[in-house]
Amino acid sequence: MNVEEELKEAMRAQVDEVYAPPSMGSAVRRRRRRSLTRFRTAGAVLVTAAVAITVPVVLTNTTPTPGPADAGAPAIAVPGIVVPDVIGMNAKQAYLLLEQAGLTPMIMTPGESTVDGAKADSVRAGENVILTSPAAGAVIEPKGLVQIKVPWVPAPTGSPEPPVDQSSNDNLGDLGDGLTWMGIHVSYLPEGVKWGGSSYVGGFGAKSATVPYVTEGLEEGMYSVQVIVSADAKLLHRDGEQVAPGTWISSYGEGGEKLGFGTGSTLTASRDFPGDLAVQVLFSPDYSKSLGEAKAKEEIAKVIAAIRQEK
Pairing of strands 139-140, 145-149: unpaired
Report in angstroms how near the CB of residue 176 gets to another protein at its nearest: 21
Per the CB < 8 A criterion, the answer to whether 199 and 172 are in contact is yes
Q: Minimal CA–CA distance to 84: which of 127, 32, 139?
A: 139
Binding mask 104-133 for another protein (x = CB under 8 A): --xxxx--xx-xx---xx-xxxxx-----x
Site for another protein in 218-237 (CB under 8 A): 219, 221-223, 226, 234-235, 237
- Single residue of 69, 83, 86, 91 touching another protein by CB under 8 A: 91
259-265: long-range contacts (C-beta < 8 A, 24 or more apart)?
261/288, 261/293, 261/296, 261/297, 262/289, 262/293, 263/289
**Crossing angle of the two packed helices 24-32 and 41-54, in degrees rounded to 10:** 150
In single-letter form, the type of residue at position 140 comes to I
Euclidean distance between CA atoms 304 and 272, whole angstroms? 10
Tell me: does residue 100 bind another protein (CB under 8 A): no
In single-letter form, the type of residue at position 16 comes to D
Euclidean distance between CA atoms 128 and 132, whole angstroms? 11
Euclidean distance between CA atoms 205 and 235, whole angstroms? 9
Q: Kindly tell me which of 51 and 307 has the beta carbon lying closer to another protein.
A: 51
Report in angstroms how near the CB of residue 311 gets to another protein at its nearest: 28
Site for another protein in 26-45 (CB under 8 A): 27-29, 31-32, 40, 43
Report in angstroms how near the CB of residue 274 gets to another protein at its nearest: 22
Report in angstroms how near the CB of residue 308 gets to another protein at its nearest: 23
Q: Kindly tell me which of 20 and 305 has the beta carbon lying closer to another protein.
A: 20
Tell me: does residue 210 bind another protein (CB under 8 A): yes
Per the CB < 8 A criterion, the answer to whether 134 and 82 are in contact is no
Q: Kindly tell me which of 145 and 184 has the beta carbon lying closer to another protein.
A: 145
Tell me: does residue 70 bind another protein (CB under 8 A): no
Site for another protein in 291-310 (CB under 8 A): none
As a residue count, the chain comes to: 311
Site for another protein in 158-197 (CB under 8 A): none
Site for another protein in 237-296 (CB under 8 A): 237, 252-257, 259, 263-264, 266, 268, 280, 282, 284-285
Give the binding-site size for another protein (rule: CB under 8 A): 87
Tell me the HSE value of 238 on the side-chain side, using a 13 A CA sphere. 6
Q: Kindly tell me which of 70 and 127 has the beta carbon lying closer to another protein.
A: 127
- Single residue of 195, 204, 248, 287 touching another protein by CB under 8 A: 204
Torsion on CA atoms 260, 188, 195, 268, rounded to nearest 10: 20
Tell me: does residue 54 bind another protein (CB under 8 A): yes
